[in-house]
Structure 1
């Protein structure tokens, strides 16, 4: 701390030394031109006296500034720096007018920042409330449309009309999935509040999701295959959030598989050491190698997104955020024209350190 203090006053010390040397030099030249004897002992005394007052002044100034410097160095190590920094500094004795003005300016800046932050949080909460209410209101017409199309298929005998109703139902399902994605994204800010750790049977959960999307499998002529190579399919996680992840990965597998060709979507649950792995593999169009590093970025759709207009670029981003917050791992392996494998890894320490 003393080193920093002296480094800030190098210029002052230099000018003080030069000034003292100039005074001694003037006295020496004056005596020299007057033909008088040069009193070197007095010159030495003048230099030592000047040095004494320099050190005394620096010591007094350092003693006055030391508490503030110590506090600033302590705050520098804090991460993150709290918004009460200015209030904390104002409680100290300020050593100079400059420091007083700086602390006052810092306080006004932090007050303005806090006001803007509170305003932003209020707007964000209002937006989330609006989104949640809007999504819940829209679920009702979505359910009604689904019910009406099913009733229409039962009442109509014309195959063309049934096909038309199937297309309406498919678009309705896309809308429903979009609403669910929007709702989950809005709830991410309250993840900790809406989190319940429990033992989850991943096989039962996956079978439930496959059964829920069975109409999509039939419609796209795809076949689900669940392989279980472990006697312990239980993991520690939050079932509701984990369901969102698996559902999104399953929808992606359905969406990017070769449609109408009778391919399989394989879901494998197995052990790897102490970890439990869940793989969802399709045999679809695959992901280009240059797109793989970015598939978990928000709004990234890549080359496949240009071919599939229904892609939003938010599904895998949401899945990665959820798995990270749950303490799991999510990664992808893919080759063009061969398919994609999405893997969720549950380590033996999952949730225990969270």
Structure 2
């Protein structure tokens, strides 16, 4: 701070020093020409007396500017909000007042732009949510038409219609969940959940898909019950996204026919966390795509061969897991399969509370 102040006034110091030096030089020439003896201490005293106003000016100016410098330094060192950083109210000089006014104008302009963008975002969310809910009615009508087609003996047409309706329903649900991620704090409820029951429910929900894609799910766990701290709805959602990815990429095809594969759901209880592992033996992910799999809309090499790939599934898994306080890792070998592991930490405070309730 002091160094910055001196650098700002370096020109004044140099000009002042040059002026004092010029006066001393003229005085020295004068007394030399007159052959007058002037002791050295008097010259030093004169020089010091000439520099005294400069030192006094710098000291007063520094004390005047110091509150502003300190306020700026504190805000630069902290990670506070932008509003706190831009609303400085410690100006003492006219220059600082001009800078402070500039900061205020920048802040208010930024605040207006931010408010306008927030309104646009909320409008987009309302539009998407309303559109998705309106699509639920046509889907219900299509489902009724499926039953009528089954009754007329057009089972193949009804099955194709049901498959497309299911995909459309899944896409609409994904759209709704993506919109709700922005309001996650208002749409989540952390509680004790029995994770094996949730996984069994997910497996049973997709009975038809397991058969169609020739995947055989298997749940492995040494314990009979494992409780974790999470939001049941959002945890089911992220697990469901992993399962749907397995339907697309978790089995291999030979001459256009799917080869039966295994989809393993393994739950392991550690000392500080619970691991939920989803493992398939499908086509895997190329090594060059692994670093991008959690980015939105990234489909990679597999997306070019699967036209229905959206590139949003793993992004939503990663985002939802982070909002829940969980961690997600992915490992894959091309041609061998993919493993996704969700780590659910065990908060110590929660374990203590649970133990107290069981006393």
Q: TM (normalized to structure 2)?
A: 0.90
For the Cα contact (< 8 Å) 2:196–2:225, is it kept in 1? no
How far residue 36 of structure 1 moved from its aligned partner, in angstroms, is: 3.6
Residues 314-340 of structure 1 deviation map (CA, whole Å, 9 limit, x = unaligned):
110111011111111111121111111
Aligned match of 2:140: 143
* Structure 2 unpaired stretches of 5+: 352-359
Question: Helix, strand or coil for the counterpart of 2:287?
Answer: coil
Question: Helix, strand or coil for the counterpart of 1:305?
Answer: helix
Which of 149, 152, 155 does residue 152 from structure 1 map onto? 149
Question: Helix, strand or coil for the counterpart of 2:229?
Answer: strand
Residues 202-227 of structure 1 deviation map (CA, whole Å, 9 limit, x = unaligned):
22111211222111122222222222
How far residue 233 of structure 1 moved from its aligned partner, in angstroms, is: 2.0
Which of 174, 178, 181 does residue 188 from structure 1 map onto? 181
For the Cα contact (< 8 Å) 1:75–1:81, is it kept in 2? no
Whether 1:217 and 2:210 are equivalent positions in the alignment is: yes
Structure 1 segment 70-89 matched on structure 2, within 5 A = 70-87=70-87, 89=88
Check 1:272–1:81 CA distance in 2 against 1; reply closer, same or farther (3 A cut). Answer: closer
How far residue 350 of structure 1 moved from its aligned partner, in angstroms, is: 8.3
Structure 1 segment 66-145 matched on structure 2, within 5 A = 66-87=66-87, 89-90=88-89, 92=90, 94-145=91-142
Separation in 1, partners of 2:270, 2:245: 25
Whether 1:235 and 2:233 are equivalent positions in the alignment is: no
How far residue 84 of structure 1 moved from its aligned partner, in angstroms, is: 4.5
For the Cα contact (< 8 Å) 2:275–2:344, is it kept in 1? yes
How far residue 237 of structure 1 moved from its aligned partner, in angstroms, is: 0.3
For the Cα contact (< 8 Å) 2:268–2:275, is it kept in 1? yes
How far residue 184 of structure 1 moved from its aligned partner, in angstroms, is: 0.9
Aligned match of 1:173: 166
Question: Helix, strand or coil for the counterpart of 1:344?
Answer: strand
Question: Helix, strand or coil for the counterpart of 1:334?
Answer: strand
For the aligned residue pairs, the C-alpha RMSD in angstroms reads 2.0
Separation in 2, partners of 1:29, 1:320: 82
Q: TM (normalized to structure 1)?
A: 0.91
Whether 1:339 and 2:332 are equivalent positions in the alignment is: no
How far residue 351 of structure 1 moved from its aligned partner, in angstroms, is: 9.1
Question: Helix, strand or coil for the counterpart of 1:22?
Answer: helix
How far residue 129 of structure 1 moved from its aligned partner, in angstroms, is: 0.8
Separation in 2, partners of 1:238, 1:346: 11
Aligned match of 1:198: 191
How far residue 38 of structure 1 moved from its aligned partner, in angstroms, is: 4.0
Aligned match of 1:63: 63
How far residue 85 of structure 1 moved from its aligned partner, in angstroms, is: 4.2
Separation in 2, partners of 1:58, 1:43: 23
Check 1:198–1:124 CA distance in 2 against 1; reply closer, same or farther (3 A cut). Answer: same
Aligned match of 2:315: 317
* Structure 1 unpaired stretches of 5+: none
Question: Helix, strand or coil for the counterpart of 2:294?
Answer: coil
Separation in 1, partners of 2:349, 2:131: 33
Residues 156-200 of structure 1 deviation map (CA, whole Å, 9 limit, x = unaligned):
33xxx3223222221221111111111111111111111111111
Comparing 200-209 with 31-40, greater Cα deviation is found at: 31-40
For the Cα contact (< 8 Å) 2:64–2:93, is it kept in 1? no
Question: Helix, strand or coil for the counterpart of 2:83?
Answer: coil
Number of aligned pairs? 346
Aligned match of 2:282: 284
